[in-house]
Structure formats: C-alpha cells, structure tokens
Chains A and B, each alone.
Chain A
Amino acid sequence: MGKGAHKRVMTASIAAVAASVIGLSGCAGGGSGGAEDGTVTLEFTQWWEPELPDGALRSLMDEFEQQNPGIKVELLSGPYSSTREQIVAGSASGTLSDVVGLDGGWVYDLVQQGAIADLSEAMQTAGYDDSQLASQVQVDGATYSIPAVNFSYMLFTNDKLLSEAGVDEPPSTRSEFLSAAEAVTEKGDASGWALPLSLESPVGVQNDVMSWNWASGGRMLANGQPDLTNPDVTATVDYIKQLNDAGVIAPGAANLKEQDKVEEFTNERVGMMISSLAHINLLRENNPDLEFSVSPVPVADGFSGTPGVTFASWGVGVSSQTEHPEEAWKLIEFLMSPEANASLATSANGFPGNVNSEPGFDESDELYKAAYEAWQAGEPVNEFNGLPVAEQLMRIFDEELQRSLDQGQPVPDTLAAINEQWTTELSQS
C-alpha cells in the first residue's frame, strides 16, 4: 500500500468512526428544535389524533400556529398503549417531547420519574386563572396534568335485544340489570354483558368493575390507602361474581380487551356493556342499524345518594426537560381556551375540561342529551387518577378477580389478597 493510499485509508476510517459516533449521538437528541429564524418547533406526543376525526387535531394546531407566529407544532401520534411506554422511555433517555398527552393513572409515576413539569408554577408565572379548569391532576399539591377532555362511562344497551327479551327500559338498579342480562342470555343469540378482563391492558377493572362501586357511592381508598375489604367493594365484587355464576357474562372474559368488548356490542353478540361515550360514533359507523341507548350505570338497590360517574381524561402536561417551557405552556393555554377546548371536546365526543366551554353537541341527539344529563347529575369519580403504579394495581385486581370468577376463590379472600398486594405496591412507590 502506497503512502497516499494509506493516508486515504486512515482518513476514511477516521471519517467513518466520526460518522458512526455522530450517528449514535444523534439518537440522544430529543424534544423540540429551534430554527435559525427563531421559529420554535414543539413536539406533542399523544394518542388523541388517531381517535379523533381525520385532521381535527392538526386543524387545531394550525389555528394555534396562526395565533402564535414563530411556534410550530409537530404531532407525534400513536396508540394509547404505546404512548405511555414512549413517554417513560423518552423521559429515561432524554428524548421526551415538549408537550405530552397524559392519562391520570400515569401521572404519579411520571412525577416520581421527574419526567413532567410542575404546571402550578407555569400557571402562576403566566397569571393563568385556574378556576376555569374543571379538574387538575395533582401530586403533593402541585398540578402536573390538566384534563382537556373528559369521557364518562355509561351503560350501553342494545334496544332490540332487550326488547326481544321482554325488557322495555334500560336497567337502573343492579337487580334490574341482572334480570335483563339473564333475559337476553336466555334468548340464546347473545350474552347479557361483556366484561373485559384482559391482562394486557387491565383498564376493565377501572371502567367495567369499579364503575359499579363508584356509581353506588362506594370508594376503594380510605385516606389514600387501599380499603378493598369495605362493604361497598365487597358488595360490588359479590355482584360481579353473581353475574358470572348466572352465566350472563360473555365467554372469554379473561382474554377480552376493551376494543373486543365494543366489537361484541357492535356485532350484537352482547346486550349490554359499560363503555366510554367516545365509542358512540364508532358504533354508529360500524353498525348503522344498531339501535342502542345510553344511561347511567345501575346503582345498588335502595341507593339514593349522588351517583358516581366513572370518567377518563385526555390530560395534557409538559416535559420537565423541554427547552421551551413558555411556548409549551402557550399550547396548553390554547388547548384549554373555551373555544379550542369546546372544539376538541366536540370532535372527541367528550366533555370539555374548561368549565366555560360549551360542548357543541347536537341537542336533538338523544344519546348525548341523556349522557350529558347523567354527567351533570352525578359526581365524576376516578380513584385511579394520580395513584402510583395505577396499571399494576388494576392488574393485581384483575388477576385476583379472575381467580374468584374462574377458580372459585371466595370474594373476601380475593379482596384481602388485593388489599395486601396494593398496600405493598403503594408502600414501595
């Protein structure tokens, strides 16, 4: 090899090493960027865009960009389940987006991880009036997530199946529900109720099991500590077991996911389900002939208090690592403004996070009207919001409930086991 050739090899090798190092270090960059002309690009990670009508979120972002020249928003959209993983991993690797969509159940752990910023400070700095916010997710008195849209969980009933089974109205008490579910099941073509208990995503514990407890004024926590053995939770799980023993729950519950439940209802294989109002459009789109009603989750017989309405939220927060906290807050302020928030809530079929927003529901739509009345008459409850390792707690509940339903583990033993495991989990968090 000549001297010149050798030099070229050396140069090429060094260039390749440099390129590899630059390439690798490039992976570490995250969050937003600032262009030479001063334009700031905010990254906004969320699962909302796929669940909204095409172009709805982008159109809102375009409006924000128009109102705030110099700020661009890049939407990073993915399914709900992978968004959480993305946020956890992004925070650990320093690549978390500036603004992030948050579920209430994730907040505590992300705060512990130091992933999301204290929004109380941002609100104070910006002189923001937080009395217009319907709710805030707080940890140790500081706000870390602001629910932008709330989705209540209601009882969906297939009018045709219920009518054929001799049930004229959606059930309003547990005993009416059991009778209706038995009547539908006995007809033979469908099951009475769908209960999703898949361990992949154990949200069924919150939406389909605990909603019964909250509807009748029950609570699963006392002073922030697990209180699963109280009479209300015991009565709820006893009731679920009663439904299971009566054979009214659709087969395959232990492996059923949220979307499977909706599909079963859409295809008229179950008469009733508890689900988010966000699914109304999906049901109408996938089965235009489906006749269904929406009503509050049935309460315990004789209950006369204010019913709890289970809700889930699309919360929004800011990365603690963002280089543009002011611009990030501006985006949140925009999303929570009465007009933008109303538009977002209407597109999502949810209830707005700003108390001054007027939901743009079609007044002639009986389903929304009924749901909105139930929402206003009840008390929004979700004890998993802001709770540490919320998903793991649901999974523990799910596994023990499966033991009770599938293997006959007595309900008191089931709840005692859950209580013990929850206490251990929470003490370690």
Chain B
Amino acid sequence: MTSAEAVALPSSEDVDVPGPAPAAPKQSSGRRALTPYLFLSPTLVLLIGLMAVPIAMVIAYSFMKRAITNPDTSFVGLDNYLAVIQDPSFTVSLVNTLIFCAVSVVAHFVIGLAFALLLNSDLVPVGLRVAFRAILILPWLFTVAVTAVLWRMLLSPNGVINYLATNAGVVGAPIEWLSSADLALPAITFINIWCGYPFFMISLLAGLQGIPQDLYEAAKVDGAGPVAQFVSVTLPQLRPVIISMALLDFIWTSQQFALIWMTTGGGPINATEVLSTFTYKLAFASYDFAEASASAVIVLLLSTILAVLYVRHQRAKE
C-alpha cells in the first residue's frame, strides 16, 4: 500500500457498514506469473553464473582432448574417464580418500559426542563448562593453512611431539610422522580429526539441548540407568542430527585438499594421495585439464550420491 492510498482511506469511525474493498488494479495474468521470477532473477543469475556454468564447463572439458592447453581441442567421448580410472594412482587415491573420510567422520562423531555430553552435563559446574566450550572449540578457529603449518612443526622429526616422546622415554628415536609411508595417512587423518570435531560437537550440543527432559524423567520412572537413558533416549533423539552431520562431514572431508597438500603433498610416494590431490596434480603438474576435469566429475558424481541421500534424509525429517 502506498502512502497516498493510506491517506485516502476512511477511518474506521467514519464507516458504519463495511463496504466492498477498493478494487485492486487489474494485472494481466502473464505479468502476475512473471513477478515471482523477477524477484528470483538476481539469485538465479548468480546461481547460473557461479555454479551451473563452471560445472557445465568442467563437464564439457572432461569430454575433450587436452582442454584449455590445446586451442584445437576435439571431442573424445569417455577417453578421459577411462584414462583416469585406469591410472593406478586413481585407485590408490580413491582408497585413501575412503579411509581418510570414514575414519575422520567416525572420530568426529565419537569425539564430538563425548565433548557435547560433557558440555551438556549438569555434573560439570557452569563456569567450567564455559571454559571447556571455549577451549574445545579452538581447533575450529584456525584456518587450514595455520593448522597445516602448526602440525607440520609439531610432528617434525625435530618437533615438540618427538622431543617430549623421546625425553619421556616413550620412543627411542624421533618418529617421522609425516614422512613415513606407513604413518603419513594416519597422521593427516589425526590432524583432520583434530580440526573437524568441533563442528560435530556444537551441532550435537544443540541437539542435546533440544531433547525434552520429560523423556528422561519417563525413562527414570521406568527404571532406566544412565547408560539405558543414553541408548534409549539420547541416541534416538540425536539420530536426525547425527545422520545429517555424518553425510555433510563425509562430503566435506572428501573435498579436503589444502590440509593434505600443505602437510604432505600427497606423499611420501603416494601414501596420502587422495582424489583432490590427484586431480590437482593432473591439472597443475601435468597440465592435463581434460583428465583433471574427468576426475573432478567422478568426484562430483560420488558426492552427488551422498548429497541425494542427505536431501532425502532432510525431506523425510520434514
């Protein structure tokens, strides 16, 4: 309503009998139908420009020969996909990605839930809980670059961890955490767990605080102890949050690049090669953007499966 129309309206005191409302100006049905799309259009343009077009370009490159680097590129069908899948490094990186993601997600959940229970417990005084909350969320505040540099220094053969371990007599000689083919993958998985658990912790804490106390009281009346309450009340109530978080975390962890690249570069040999580092090397070391695009599309397809599961789960929740 415009201000001019508001002035023209009679006050309620002047009206004895409600009359018919003033007729709204007639709009053509086409224009009316167009209006919502015009409201949406800025976002749609951004979505198309920043999401759909780049994705479509990557998909298109994946079917071309030597895309980007060769001006006279040609369509080669699935050749790039076959080359990527047949590359032994792809299999290694796929397996490493699965191990890295699965262990990270499970550990994020277990540690996140443990800390969330601690922060939600009445057994811990309020002041201490606030202090714990501030300390436990710290890893989340560091950027990946800082985390990578920090842990490279800590885990270096001359680093603090080796110094403490050797001085305490836990190990006889410094351990090459990040440069040993056997230890590098567990080491970077540990770093990823360290920097990722606060996300689970905060989400689960919010979930815990949303569980009605009546349920616990009813469980107590039925004679349930703390463990039975946890199994029969807490976990079922947190189930939607846990599934959502696990799916999201799996997708995010599978895209983890910076941490691995900055700590090990995919090495030693190919011990920490994951799909993201494999794809990066194809693009920026071999300059094979077509195969890199094919690899990226494969990752996109795998992520899409998880994304579909996530969306279906969200819909089912609604």
Contact = CB atoms under 8 A, between A and B. Distances in A.
Contacts of A19: 42
A85 B284 contact: yes
A5 interface: yes
Given A113-B68, A113-B69, A200-B261, A2 B284 contact: no
A5 B158 contact: no
A24 B48 CA distance: 10
Interface in A230-280: 250-256, 264, 269
B286 A399 contact: no
A345 interface: no
Contact of B45 (A6, A17, A199): A17
Interface of B: 1-2, 5, 24-25, 27, 31, 35, 38-39, 41-42, 45-46, 49-50, 68-71, 152, 156-158, 174, 176, 178-181, 184, 261-270, 281, 284-289
Contacts of A425: 286
A14 B41 CA distance: 8
B267 A198 contact: yes
A389 B285 contact: yes
A399 B35 contact: no
Given A252-B176, A269-B158, A13 B42 contact: yes
A168 B131 CA distance: 58
Given A1-B24, A24-B46, A252-B156, 16 more contacts: A5-B2, A13-B41, A16-B42, A20-B46, A197-B268, A198-B265, A199-B266, A201-B265, A252-B179, A255-B176, A389-B286, A392-B286, A399-B267, A402-B269, A407-B269, A428-B288
B45 A20 contact: yes
Interface in A1-41: 1-6, 9-10, 13-14, 16-17, 19-21, 24
Contact of B284 (A14, A17, A88, A428): A88
Interface of A: 1-6, 9-10, 13-14, 16-17, 19-21, 24, 84-85, 88, 92, 109, 112-114, 197-201, 250-256, 264, 269, 389, 391-392, 395, 398-399, 402-403, 406-407, 425, 428
A84 B27 CA distance: 57
Given A251-B157, A255-B267, A389 B45 contact: no
Contacts of A252: 156-157, 176, 178-179
A21 B42 CA distance: 9
B287 A112 contact: yes
Contacts of A254: 176, 179-181, 267-269
A2 B27 CA distance: 9
A200 B284 CA distance: 11
A88 B268 contact: no
A197 B181 CA distance: 13
Contacts of A114: 71
Nearest to B270: A399
A85 B39 CA distance: 38
Contacts, number: 126
A24 B281 contact: no
A113 B287 contact: yes
Contact of B269 (A1, A113, A392, A403): A403
Contacts of B289: 92
A85 B70 CA distance: 17
Contacts of A399: 267, 269-270
B31 A392 contact: no
Given A109-B69, A395-B281, A406 B269 contact: yes
A200 B262 contact: yes
B27 A6 contact: yes
A74 to B, nearest CB: 25
A182 to B, nearest CB: 18
19 contacts: A4-B2, A6-B27, A9-B38, A20-B42, A20-B45, A21-B49, A24-B45, A84-B284, A198-B264, A251-B174, A252-B157, A252-B179, A254-B179, A264-B158, A389-B287, A392-B285, A403-B269, A406-B180, A407-B269
Given A3-B25, A407-B181, A199 B268 contact: yes
A21 B286 CA distance: 34
Interface centre among A4, A113, A197 (most CB of B within 10 A): A113
Contacts of B46: 20, 24
Nearest to A201: B265
A255 B268 contact: yes
A112 B156 contact: no
Contacts of A16: 41-42
A282 B230 CA distance: 59
A354 to B, nearest CB: 31
Given A17-B41, A17-B42, A24-B49, A6 B35 contact: yes
B170 to A, nearest CB: 17
A88 B70 CA distance: 13
Nearest to A88: B284
A5 B157 CA distance: 70
A52 to B, nearest CB: 24
A229 B286 CA distance: 23
Nearest to B265: A200
Contact of A392 (B45, B270, B281): B281
B267 A13 contact: no
